[in-house]
Amino acid sequence: MTHHKKAILIQYLGSNKNLTAGKMYTRDELAKAYNISKTTVCLRLSGKMVARDKDFEMTNTKKINGRRYFEKIATFIGHDSRFERGKSYTVNNIAEISNLDLATIKRRIVKRNSFCDDDLRPLKKCTAGPSQFDNYAESVSACWLKRKL
């Protein structure tokens, strides 16, 4: 099959019935073979030139309003005593164990398949003391002025 000259080709090494091991495929072709979106293929293969069957495994699914959603799974690679190194956790499990908001965890590990101690740090609170400012409004303003744009 001929491809566009600017198409990114990825070598496939696996046992999918729609693909041949050792051949080069575009992301679109891989997405069609596994019946998943091109965006998912791009996220799973970012920085890789070889695709394997395990790159497309999506084991945890939830059904919400009749649609099937895949839960994000990440492997712990840090030293926190609350987690077991090398074990895989869902985002919901990470949020429960670390006592952080689910949205915070999702934001921190959105494009990665692993997480570490830095991702489990507590949210930063503004610690402006009342002695620096005349009133509460000035202290809140100072907190927002410190944030990056």
CB 75 within 8 A of CB 113: yes
Q: What is the pTM assigned to this prediction?
A: 0.46
Q: What is the mean pLDDT of the chain?
A: 82
Rounded mean pLDDT, 131-142: 79
| 87, containing H or E segment | none
Q: Three-state SS for 138?
A: helix
Give the model confidence (pLDDT) of 16-53 as tens digits: 888 888 888 988 898 888 888 888 888 888 888 888 88
Give the model confidence (pLDDT) of 63-72 as tens digits: 666 665 667 7
Q: What integer pLDDT is reported at residue 127 of this predicted model?
A: 62
CB 128 within 8 A of CB 143: yes
Taking the C-alpha atoms of residue 26 and residue 28, their distance in angstroms, rounded to an integer, is: 5
Taking the C-alpha atoms of residue 19 and residue 29, their distance in angstroms, rounded to an integer, is: 9
